[in-house]
Chain A
Amino acid sequence: MKQQELIRPMERSATSWGFLILFIIFPLISEGQVEKNLTKEQYQVIEDAFRKSGKDETRIFFQTIDYKSWVHLLYGSYYRDKRGIALCSFEDPNLERAIDQLIDHVSNIRVKELSRNKLGKRFTLINDLTDYPYLSITEPIIIGEYSFILFKYPNSESLSVQKKNSEGNWVFECAIPLYVVFID
């Protein structure tokens, strides 16, 4: 009996310590996963990327993804030649420079939760990765007059490039498919 009485305070003490540790660690874990929100300009980039969509609804994963390894495909001669890369032409040297700088920016992308209120009505946020077909995106990266978003579908990954026009809108410039499988 005495033994049990001794154990109970110890259990209570351990439980308290557990809560305390969780209390300290949880914000750190959360910080690692969702660091901060997207900026207003980043929301504008996302919105404009679907400006010419022919669909009534766009189903999109509720967080941006921090998938980064794709960026290495943009360098070297695998996809790229002197004139451009896939559908993107280097007629504007600023685009080539922006792509060259992209690797540094991609290393800093984080998982960020998309705010339902800051997106247009066409977007449906989904949180089930098996809910086919879904689209997940990286947070938009803005380098000068160009912006970049990685579009990730179940069977394709493509880097979308937009350019800011004189009215301040982001306009589709070109795309670089990085991985595509056609299943028929």
Chain B
Amino acid sequence: MPPLKYKNLGRSGFLPLLLVLITINSLLTSCVQEPEAPRLEPNSGDQLARVKSWFEENKTNLRLPERGSNFRTESQELILPFFEKEPDWDQFHHYYFPDGREVFEVSLENATKYFPTSMLDSFPDRDPAELVIQNILFVKHPTQERFDPLIARYYPDNQESLEDFKSISYGGIPYDWSGKVDIWTYNERHFIGFIFDNGELTHHSTYQLQTSMGEARIMGDCRTIIREISNNYTDRDGIVVVRPPTVVVEVVCTGSGGYTPSGNNRNDGSDYHDYERPPCCDDPVPAPPRDLPSYDPPTIPSPNTIVNRLTNPCASRTFKQLSKGSSYLTDLYGLGSLDIFPGMLDLFEQSGKFDYQIQNGFVSNGANAITQRINGINVITLNNDYLAKATSLSITRTIIHETVHAFLLENTYNMDLRYNHTTFDLLLRYFEKYDQNWNETHHAAMSHFILGMAVSLYNWDKKFGPTGGTLGFDYYYKMAFGGLLNPDNPTQLIDEAKQFIPSGSSWAEIQKILNNEATGTNQANGTKCN
């Protein structure tokens, strides 16, 4: 791939601009994965056939008896909208829970679709039923030859969070998704709900019938909300049928909640909360006897998403803003489509693995940040000392730089991304050139992302940053050179990056900009991020 070089585009003619755009297109196709059907290991088709066969054999026993709906009403159990139970086996996700249990998540289309009444307000011009995604999870039992089914419903909160089947699963909540994931047991009881705000799991919730006392037990940082559960649904003719709602108490607690079972603690400190259905207390009347095999809801972890563990408010806010991305470079002929940051997060998402975590903490040697792979997760740590003095512009640059490290690491370990030959070949080429030293390899490969990193930084500043993108693209482009140092001589730029220095500029000038922003001097153009 020919190297990308930014050369004062504003003064260039049309032909050079066209060449740049063509090159950008090449880079984009190398960076952003095309959406495609779920990728599976060679034996996944056979495995799915095994699930299907097991389900066909056992589904009758798993279901409530025909009198199920009456039973539930009479017993004063929580009445919840039922679902049809014939999965669409052609659409499925395949992944594993952190404890190694295999999961197949299969589309479960309903002829009648249920949705929360709040969706009518969120999507006044749409039929909410069309926006709900409902799947059935088959969780492989750890010791027995059986699968424990659960139902997942995904209710988006806003237009930006509308997803199709391929884009969302319990094993992969989009990093910027807002909405609610409700999990139901196969025998039609609510299990747990998870509330996401911009990809962050903020609350979890359970429902209880409103008792005569009108109170619900509250534990920890929880609150109760009296809620009407809509029984409205869209019938086969597309007409919304309004039914009397069910009044329930929703218990909403801060955080992902749950408990961490002993022996499953992960050293990287990331969440692994398990949820088990309370053994008795939500069921005033025991469930009716059923034929074997019995159905017990499985223990489940919280849904998987990119983990933002930044406790520094400014850095956390910056990361969320950066994740949104967009094409703001309208004054540069659409170069905004080169915004690589959200594209890289998309790759983590589309690969079905969220091997990405960002946090702040103590970093030795006075470095701004470190990126390392811990227990299979690419963990970025921003130095607290750096965050205290740097401008938000510098911090944004660093987050982008470290995310490229994480992206390249993921390309190294995740074989599902291996078809991305451009990045793969870049890594191999520099790996041999730099005597199999990964630090130099990454920084040499990263030189080919300078323009993309600059666009991400520019877009962020234009929409969210302190200057509104008024510094001129040249400034952001120069900042994208940060960290691309020669380890043999750490004050100098790595060779591969030198060719991309804009004409008329020098490394010394770029260094000065980087230092000013990193230390928040009065010559910095950004503002301190504290």
Seen from chain A, the residues whose Cβ lies within 8 Å of a Cβ on chain B are: 49-55, 58, 77-79, 81-84, 86-87, 89, 133, 135, 151, 153, 155-156, 158, 160, 172, 175, 177, 180-184
Contacts of A158 in B (CB 8 A): 436, 438
Which of B117-125, B153-161, B307-315, B401-409 lies at the interface? B401-409
Cβ–Cβ contact A184 & B370, under 8 A:
yes
Asked whether A78 and B376 contact (CB < 8 A) given A55-B435, A58-B435, A86-B412, the answer is yes
Cβ–Cβ contact A184 & B483, under 8 A:
yes
Cβ–Cβ contact B369 & A84, under 8 A:
no
Q: Smallest CB-CB separation from A178: which chain B residue?
A: B373
Cβ–Cβ contact A182 & B442, under 8 A:
yes
Contacts of B372 in A (CB 8 A): 180-182
**A164 → chain B, closest Cβ, in Å?**
17
**Beyond the given A82-B42, A183-B363, could you list 19 further A-B residue pairs with CB under 8 A, ordered by the A residue number?**
A52-B432, A53-B432, A55-B433, A79-B413, A81-B41, A81-B415, A87-B428, A135-B435, A135-B437, A153-B438, A158-B436, A172-B432, A180-B373, A182-B439, A183-B365, A183-B370, A184-B367, A184-B371, A184-B483
Contacts of A135 in B (CB 8 A): 435, 437
Cβ–Cβ contact A156 & B439, under 8 A:
yes
**A158 → chain B, closest Cβ, in Å?**
6
Total number of B residues with any Cβ neighbor in A under 8 Å: 38
Contacts of B431 in A (CB 8 A): 175
Cβ–Cβ contact A160 & B436, under 8 A:
yes
Interface membership of B398, Cβ < 8 A: yes
Interface membership of B419, Cβ < 8 A: no
**B488-522 interface (Cβ within 8 A of A):** 488
Asked whether A153 and B439 contact (CB < 8 A) given A86-B412, A177-B412, A182-B405, the answer is yes
Q: Choose from A50, A84, A155, A184 the contact partner of B402 (Cβ within 8 Å).
A: A184
Contacts of B488 in A (CB 8 A): 133
20 A-B pairs whose Cβ atoms sit less than 8 Å apart in the complex: A52-B433, A53-B433, A54-B433, A54-B434, A77-B100, A87-B428, A133-B437, A153-B438, A158-B436, A172-B432, A175-B436, A177-B438, A181-B372, A182-B370, A182-B402, A184-B369, A184-B370, A184-B401, A184-B402, A184-B483
**B111 → chain A, closest Cβ, in Å?**
39
Contacts of B371 in A (CB 8 A): 181-182, 184
Which of A79, A84, A180 lies at the interface centre, i.e. has the most chain B CB atoms within 10 A of its CB? A180
The total of interchain contacts (Cβ-Cβ below 8 angstroms) comes to: 90
**A12 → chain B, closest Cβ, in Å?**
53
Interface membership of B487, Cβ < 8 A: yes
Q: Smallest CB-CB separation from B496: which chain A residue?
A: A54
**Which 5 residue pairs of A and B lie closest in terms of their CB atoms, listed nearest first?**
A54-B433, A52-B432, A184-B483, A156-B438, A181-B372
Query: Chain B 151-185, CB within 8 Å of chain A: the 1/0 string?
Result: 00000000000000000000000000000000000
Contacts of B398 in A (CB 8 A): 184
Q: Choose from A49, A52, A86, A153 the contact partner of B437 (Cβ within 8 Å).
A: A153
**B428-457 interface (Cβ within 8 A of A):** 428, 431-439, 442
**A51 → chain B, closest Cβ, in Å?**
8
Interface membership of B368, Cβ < 8 A: yes
Contacts of B405 in A (CB 8 A): 182, 184
Contacts of B436 in A (CB 8 A): 49, 151, 158, 160, 175
A57 to B365, CA, bound (A): 27
Asked whether A181 and B370 contact (CB < 8 A) given A156-B438, A175-B436, the answer is yes
Q: Smallest CB-CB separation from A149: which chain B residue?
A: B436
A158 to B431, CA, bound (A): 11
**A25 → chain B, closest Cβ, in Å?**
38
Q: Smallest CB-CB separation from B386: which chain A residue?
A: A184
**A133 → chain B, closest Cβ, in Å?**
6
A52 to B429, CA, bound (A): 9
